[in-house]
Amino acid sequence: MLTWIELKADHVKHNVQVFSALAGKEKLAFVLKSNAYGHGLKEIYEALKSENPAWLAVNYVDEGVMLRTLGFKGRLLVVGPFVPEDISQAFKNKLEMLVGHKEGLSAWLKGEVKPEIHIEFDTGMGRQGFRPAEADDIAARLESDKKLVRGVCMHFANVEDVTEFEYANVQMARFDTVYKVFTGRGFKVIAHAASSAAALILEGSRFDLMRVGISTYGFWPSQATKISYKHLHGALIDLKPVLSWRTQITSTSNVPAGEYIGYGCTYKTRHAMRIAVLPVGYFEGYPRIASGSEAYVLIHGERCPIVGRICMNMMMVDITDISGKSNVGDTATMIGGDGKEYIAASDVAGWSETIHYELVTRLHPSIERKLI
Ligand SMILES: *Cc1c(COP(=O)(O)O)cnc(C)c1O
């Protein structure tokens, strides 16, 4: 195998248990969208199913159908956009959909079959969702389908990036009015708003259900969330990263001083170097923009800097310092631990001017995933 992703099943279970202890299983929807945040939908479902999650959430109807095919029998929430053709699929597979725009609502109202729905309100995210002021109108239009409306929900815009929650509180106040409109009209709805960050640090946002994505995989949503949590609770909660990404050296070479390495001749050797080629590039999901940063991989527990530009399917790393002990076939780690060293997904994201969410969801689906 040229490159592979290792997934620690016990870490998935651990993270699920951490949240279950925090909030109770019935109140948690683990989010498995985007190929389970790039980890691998099938493998993560396999690791998680013994925990008997009450709810799972995905972005697309297709992803929900896939989870049904894999055998999931619990409640399944589709949080992303849909087109009218998706409605009958959702119904057939007992998926609950978020409806947050008038086209979607009209299509649903006109549909021959009606899956259960949750009405989404835009309380300040500026994405999907009805305006809070429309709540009474929307509720009136749903009067005869009351039983099929299972929830009202919203999404926070500004929890991960800050350590104060003024805007989140504004959003919650608006949500509160919406919830009162629906319950006031006799709808038996649950309320949900929180994703990982809010679930961790905004107790008042937990309501009846939390949609936990990134932290299922053992990541803090952001540095700010981590700081806020510690500030609130004195200590951190123990989240365990699930994923490691590894490859093997496919060739090595000795390069004299004064030679260039890679496209654009951006890197010139200052002394004789030993270079290893790794069969991983931006196609596989290692961002090209990390070229020229302090990015490194781990080989035999040592940091080996990436030199020159990252190619489509290869990168070159400096193994001069460990040339005596590194050979073709040796393992290199892009994300994960090796000896005393650890590269977090957020480290690679930092070298790549992005966030760990984007980094992991872009790990190519063709890379083999191994549950260990
Ligand atoms: C992705 C998503 C989540 C999960 O967010 P995390 O920050 O990964 O926990 C929750 N709700 C909605 C609507 C989402 O799209």
Statement to judge: residues 282 and 338 lie in one domain: yes
Q: How far is CA 308 from CA 31, 107, 172, 207, 222, in A?
A: 37, 52, 48, 50, 30
**CATH number of the structural domain spanning residue 296:** 2.40.37.10
Instruction: Please indicate, yes or no, if residue 1 is contained in any of the structural domains.
Output: no
Rounded CA separation 370/299 (Å): 20
| Tokens of residue 177, six digits | 């009015």
Statement to judge: residues 308 and 191 lie in one domain: no
What does the pLDDT read at residue 323? 83
Of 180, 211, 233, which marks where a domain is finished? Answer: 233
Rounded CA separation 47/111 (Å): 36
Instruction: Please indicate, yes or no, if residue 77 is contained in any of the structural domains.
Output: yes
Instruction: Please indicate, yes or no, if residue 141 is contained in any of the structural domains.
Output: yes
- Helix then strand count (H, E) for the chain reads 12, 20
Q: Which atom of ligand 1 is nearest to the CA of 199?
A: 9
Is 213 touching ligand 1 by the criterion CB < 6 Å? yes
Instruction: Please indicate, yes or no, if residue 102 is contained in any of the structural domains.
Output: yes
What does the pLDDT read at residue 230? 96
Please determine, for residue 331, whether its predicted confidence score (pLDDT) is greater than 90: yes
CA of 21 to the centre of ligand 1 (A): 20
Q: Is position 92 annotated as part of the catalytic site?
A: no
pTM beyond 0.85, yes or no: yes
Name the residue at shortest CA distance from atom 3 of ligand 1: 195
What does the pLDDT read at residue 16? 98
**CATH number of the structural domain spanning residue 108:** 3.20.20.10
Q: In 220-324, where does DSSP find H-type helix?
A: 223-233
Of 233, 266, 289, which marks where a domain is finished? Answer: 233
Instruction: Please indicate, yes or no, if residue 132 is contained in any of the structural domains.
Output: yes
Rounded CA separation 324/328 (Å): 12
pLDDT confidence band for 11 (50 / 70 / 90): very high
Is 79 touching ligand 1 by the criterion CB < 6 Å? yes
Per-residue pLDDT tens over the stretch 119-174: 999 999 999 999 999 999 999 999 999 999 999 999 999 999 999 999 999 999 99
Question: Range of 203's domain?
Answer: 9-233
Give percent of the chain with pLDDT exceeding 70: 100
pLDDT confidence band for 227 (50 / 70 / 90): very high
Instruction: Please indicate, yes or no, if residue 3 is contained in any of the structural domains.
Output: no
Rounded CA separation 348/47 (Å): 25
Q: Is position 263 annotated as part of the catalytic site?
A: yes
Is 211 touching ligand 1 by the criterion CB < 6 Å? yes
Name the residue at shortest CA distance from atom 4 of ligand 1: 213
Statement to judge: residues 364 and 216 lie in one domain: no
- The whole-chain average pLDDT of the chain stands at 97
What does the pLDDT read at residue 313? 98
Per-residue pLDDT tens over the stretch 46-62: 999 999 999 999 999 99
